[in-house]
Amino acid sequence: MQLYKDQNLRVHNSLSGKKELFQPINEGHIGMYVCGPTVYSNVHLGNCRTFMSFDMIFRYFKHLGFKVRYVRNITDAGHLENDADEGEDKIAKKAKLEQIEPMEVVQRYTVDFHNTLQKFNLLPPSIEPTATGHIIEQIEIIKDILKKGLAYEVNGSVYFDVVKFNEAHEYGKLSGRKLEDMIANTRELTAQDEKKNPQDFALWKKAEPQHIMRWPSPWGDGFPGWHLECTAMSTKYLGEIFDIHGGGMDLKFPHHECEIAQAEASTGKSPVKYWMHANMLTLNGKKMSKSTGNNIYPSEIFSGDNNILSKVYSPAVVRFFMMQAHYTSILDLSDDALLASEKGYHRLMEAMTGLKDLKTGTTSDFDVATWKQKCYDAMNDDFNTPILIAHLFDAVKHINLIKDDQETISGEDKELLEMTLNAFVYDVLGIENQALAKDDSNALNGVMELLIQIRNDARANKDFATSDKIRDELTALGIQLKDGKDGTSFSIN
Name which position in 47, 138, 197, 199 contacts ligand AMP (CB under 6 A): 47
**Pattern 464-493, ligand AMP, x by CB under 6 A:** ------------------------------
Q: Which of the residues 247 through 266 are near ligand AMP (CB under 6 A)?
A: 247-248, 250-251
Do the Cβ atoms of 31 and 243 come closer than 8 Å? yes
> Would you say 275 or 321 has its CB closer to Zn ion?
275
| Cβ partners under 8 Å of residue 478, min gap 6 | 492, 493
Our finding on whether 49 is near ligand AMP (CB under 6 A) is yes
Backbone angles phi, psi at 479, to 5 degrees: -110, 120
Of 109, 112, 42, nearest to 76 (Cα)? 109
Contacting positions for Zn ion (CB under 5 A):
35, 230
Partner from ligand AMP, Zn ion, none contacting 276, C-beta within 5 to 8 A by type: none
Partner from ligand AMP, Zn ion, none contacting 31, C-beta within 5 to 8 A by type: none
Minimum distance, C-beta of residue 162 to ligand AMP, in the bound complex (Å)? 22
Q: Which of the residues 188 through 247 are near ligand AMP (CB under 6 A)?
A: 247
Do the Cβ atoms of 141 and 262 come closer than 8 Å? yes
> Would you say 78 or 248 has its CB closer to ligand AMP?
248
Q: Which residue is nearest to ligand AMP (CB)?
A: 248
Backbone angles phi, psi at 70, to 5 degrees: -110, 115
Of 114, 318, 140, 317, nearest to 228 (Cα)? 140
Distance CA 372, CA 267 (A): 44
| Cβ partners under 8 Å of residue 211, min gap 6 | 89, 92, 223
* Three-class SS of 123-172: CCCCECCECHHHHHHHHHHHHHHHHCCCEEEECCEEEECHHHHHHHCCCC
Query: 3-class DSSP state for residue 36?
Result: coil
Partner from Zn ion, ligand AMP, none contacting 360, C-beta within 5 to 8 A by type: none
Minimum distance, C-beta of residue 360 to ligand AMP, in the bound complex (Å)? 44
Binding segment for ligand AMP among 30-38, 142-150, 413-421, 464-472 (CB under 6 A)?
Answer: 30-38
Minimum distance, C-beta of residue 282 to ligand AMP, in the bound complex (Å)? 7
Minimum distance, C-beta of residue 401 to ligand AMP, in the bound complex (Å)? 38
- Residues interacting with ligand AMP, by CB under 6 A? 35, 37-38, 46-47, 49-50, 247-248, 250-251, 280-281, 287-289
